[in-house]
């Protein structure tokens, strides 16, 4: 990364089952990425929404994480 520029992060959904990871968002600040990942709906162990429960039933355990771009 160039000096004086902010580092950018992407959100990645990862699956324990071996399903290919998905990039869900790009160009986030670290604070934004951390806030995203603190939402209970971003992990199969804490998510309660019907959509998240269906994802867990189909693919097993999963969670959202972040990495620098």
How many Å apart are CA 52 and CA 59, to the nearest integer?
10
12-58: pLDDT as tens digits:
999 999 999 999 999 999 999 999 999 999 999 999 999 999 999 99
- Residue 51: Cβ within 10 Å count: 9
Specify the pLDDT at position 1: 43
pTM of the predicted protein model? 0.86
């Amino acid at each position: 990364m160039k000096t004086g520029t902010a580092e950018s992060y992407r959100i990645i959904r990862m699956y324990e089952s071996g399903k290919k990871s998905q990039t869900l968002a790009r160009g986030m600040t670290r604070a934004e990425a951390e806030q995203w990942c603190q939402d209970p709906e971003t992990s199969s162990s804490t998510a309660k929404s019907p959509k998240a429960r269906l994802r867990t039933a189909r693919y097993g355990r999963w969670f959202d994480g972040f990495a620098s771009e």
